[in-house]
Amino acid sequence: MATFVIDKAHVVTHFNQACALTLDITAARALGHKDIGKVFYGDDRPMMVDLIVDGLMEQAVNDLYQSSYRSSLKVPHAYEAEHFFLNLGNGGRWLFFTAAPIYNKHGELVGAIETVQDITERKVAEEALMKAQLEVEQIVEQRTSELAAVNQTLREDVNRREAAEHELLKRNDELQTLYTRLSEVKEHLIQSEKLASIGQLAAGIAHEINNPIGYIFSNFGTLENYLAQLFNMLDAYEKAETDLQSCTTGQTLKGKREAFDLEFLKEDIPVLMRESKEGIVRVRKIVQDLKDFSHVDTNSDWQFASLNQGIDSTLNVINNEIKYKADLVKEFADLPELQCMPSQINQVVMNLVVNAAHAIGPERGKITVRTGQEGEQVWLEVADTGSGIPPDVLPRIFDPFYTTKPIGKGTGLGLSLSYGIIQKHHGKIEVNTNVGQGTSFKVWLPLKQPAASSPMSNP
C-alpha cells in the first residue's frame, strides 16, 4: 500500500517504495519536502494530510474535494476520496486515497498519514461499463421510440378500422332503413294494385249493368200500367162474354178462358211482376254497392264516411263467399262519420270477413260483425266460429305472404295489407283466438286523423 507521512510542519517524513512506484518519483524527491501537492496536482496546493495537520479539514475539504470525499467509517477524523490526477502517469491516473491524523503518546497531533491506491483500471472498466450501459440505454430508448412509432401506427390502424367498421354499421343501418322503406313501398304498391284492379272491375261491371237496369226498371213501370189497362180490358171482355153465352163465339171464349186458366193468370202475373221488380231493385242495390265499394265516384283521399255503410256495402259484395258457409249477424252501433279512406277500410273489412269465412269448416258457422265507439275511437269487430289460430301460427299472420291456405287459395297478403292500412289510419288491430272455437279481429280507428296526416296527404 503506497503510504506517506507528514509532520506538523507539513514536511514529508515517510515515503514508502510503493508510493514512489505509484507516483513515478523517487522517495528522495518527496522526503524532507513540503511541496508534495505539486507531484499530485502540478501546483503546490494542500493535500488532505495538510488540512488534517492544520485542523482545517472541516472548512477546506468541501472546496478542494467537492463531493468526491467522505469521512472514514472506521477511523475518527480520517477521510477518504477518489480523484483523477492529470499529472500522473501517462495521461493521468485515478487514485483512491485516505488521510488520517497521527498522535503521540500524549494524544497530541504530530502529523498525518496518507495512503494512495491506483484505481485507474477499475475506473476505466467502470467507464467502459457506463459507456456500454449508456449505449444499451440509447438502444433501449431508440427501440422504445421505434415501438412507440409502431404502436402509434397500430393505433392509427385500429382507429381506421374502427372508423371503417363504424361506417359499415352506418351503411348497414341505411340499407336496413332503405329495405324497410322498400318493403313498405312494395306493400303499398301491391295493395293499391289489388285495390285498383278490384275497383276497376267493380266500376266496369257497375257501369255496364247500370244502363240496362235503368231502362228495364223504367220499362217495368210502363209495363205495370199497360197490364193494368189490359186487365181492365179483359174484365170488359169477361162481362161481354155473359151476353154472348148463346152463340158459338161465346162458347169458344169460355173454352179458351178455361184452357188458359185466365183466373190463375190474372192472379199470377202481378205476383211475377212484383217479384221481378224486387229482383231488379236488388240488382240496382248491388250495383250501387259495387260503386260504393270501389268508390269510383270519389278519389281515394281522406274523407268523412259512415263506417257502418261501408261495412254494409262490402258485405253485400262478398255475400257469395259467406252465405253458404255461415250466418251473418250484424250488430252495429250508431256511429259518427269517420275520417278515413273508405275504399281502404272496405278492403280491411273484406279481408277480415273472407278470412272468417275461410276459417269455418264444413259445418255451418256464424260470423258476427260489430261496431262501436269509445270516446274518440270507433271499433269494428269480425268474430267467427271457425278453426281458431294455433299458437305457432299466430305470431306470423301479419307477415306478408304468410298463408296456411293451399296454393291458389291464399296469397298471404290480406292481413299484412290490412295491417298497413290500419297503421296509416293511426289505428290498431287486436286478435283474440281459441283453437277449435273461433277468432275475433278487432280494429280500432281514431274518429279524426292527427293534423299532420289529414286530410290532404295520402301517404
Ligand X SMILES: Nc1ncnc2c1ncn2[C@@H]1O[C@H](COP(=O)(O)OP(=O)(O)OP(=O)(O)O)[C@@H](O)[C@H]1O
Q: Which residues bind ligand X (CB under 6 A)?
A: 351, 355-356, 359, 384, 386-387, 389, 393, 397, 402-405, 410-416, 439
Q: Give the interface segment with Mg ion, choosing from 170-178, 267-275, 414-422, 437-445 (CB under 5 A).
A: 414-422
Residue where the block lists cell 467537492: 66
What separation in angstroms does the CA of 165 have from each of 152, 155, 171, 173, 174?
19, 15, 10, 12, 14
Report residue 116 as a C-alpha cell: 494512495
**Which C-beta is closer to ligand X: that of 220 or that of 402?**
402
* Partner in contact with 387, chosen from Mg ion, ligand X, none, beta carbon below 5 to 8 Å by kind: ligand X
Q: Is 101 in the site for Mg ion (CB under 5 A)?
A: no
| SS3 state of residue 329 | strand
Residue 46, contacted partner among Mg ion, ligand X, none, CB below 5-8 A by kind: none
Among 46, 101, 365, 414, binds Mg ion (CB under 5 A): 414
Which of residues 349 and 413 has its CB atom nearest to ligand X in the complex?
A: 413
84 neighbors 41 (Cβ within 8 angstroms)? no
Grid coordinates belonging to 109 = 497531533
Cβ distance to ligand X smaller for residue 126 or 399: 399
Is the Cβ of residue 85 or residue 419 nearer to Mg ion in the bound state? 419
Q: Does the footprint of Mg ion cover residue 46 (CB under 5 A)? A: no
* φ, ψ at 211 (rounded to 5°): -65, -55
Contacts for 40 with CB less than 8 Å, ≥ 6 apart: 23, 47, 85, 87, 88, 95
Give least dist CB 351 to Mg ion, A.
5
What residue type is 101 in one-letter code? P
Minimum CB separation of residue 405 from Mg ion in Å reads: 8
Q: Which long-range contacts (CB under 8 A, 24 or more apart) does 261-268 make?
A: 262/234, 266/231, 266/234
Quote the least distance from Cβ 309 to ligand X, whole Å.
24
Residue nearest to ligand X (CB): 414
Query: Among residues 432, 435, 403, which one has the least CA distance to residue 416?
Result: 403
CB 438 to Mg ion: min, Å: 16
Q: Return the number of the residue (369 or 415) whose C-beta is nearest ligand X.
A: 415
Nearer to ligand X, 314 or 351 (CB): 351
Per-residue DSSP letters for 105-173?
TTS-EEEEEEEEEE-HHHHHHHHHHHHHHHHHHHHHHHHHHHHHHHHHHHHHHHHHHHHHHHHHHHHHH
- Pick 116 or 415: Cβ nearer ligand X: 415
All cell numbers assigned to 217: 226498371
CA 258 vs CA 121, 264, 271, 371: distances in Å: 164, 10, 20, 58
Residue 396: closest CA among 381, 416, 382 = 416
Judged by beta carbon distances under 5 to 8 A according to partner kind, the member of ligand X, Mg ion, none in contact with residue 413 is ligand X
CB 164 → ligand X: shortest distance, Å? Answer: 42
Query: Shortest distance, CB of residue 351 to ligand X, whole angstroms?
Result: 6
Q: How far is C-alpha 410 from the geometric centre of its chain's CA atoms? A: 33
Report the partner that residue 403 touches, choosing among ligand X, Mg ion, none (CB closer than 5 to 8 A by kind).
ligand X
CB of 205 to ligand X, least distance (A): 21
Shortest Cβ 399–ligand X spacing (Å): 8
Radius of gyration in angstroms for the set of CA atoms belonging to the chain, rounded to a whole number: 63
356 binds, options Mg ion, ligand X, none, Cβ within 5 to 8 A by partner type: ligand X
Nearer of residues 57 and 202 to ligand X, judged by Cβ: 202
CA quadruple 190, 193, 196, 201: dihedral, nearest 10: -110
Q: Does 439 bind Mg ion (CB under 5 A)?
A: no
The closest alpha carbon to 69, from 218, 60, 6, 408, belongs to 60
- Contact partner at residue 402 from Mg ion, ligand X, none, CB < 5 to 8 Å by partner kind: ligand X
Q: Which residue is nearest to Mg ion (CB)?
A: 414
Partner that binds at residue 393, options ligand X, Mg ion, none, CB closer than 5 to 8 Å by kind = ligand X
Burial of 373 per CB tally in 10 Å (0-12, 13-18, 19+): middle
Smallest gap from residue 422 Cβ to ligand X (A)? 13
* Pair 329, 369: CB distance under 8 Å: yes
Residue among 289, 412, 311 nearest 355 (CA) = 412
What x/- string results for residues 348 through 387 when contact with Mg ion is judged by CB under 5 A?
Answer: -------x--------------------------------
Decide whether 355 or 433 has the Cβ nearer to Mg ion.
355
Least spacing, CB of residue 324 vs ligand X, in Å: 17
Q: Which is nearer to ligand X, 64 or 359 (CB)?
A: 359
Binding site for Mg ion (CB under 5 A): 355, 414
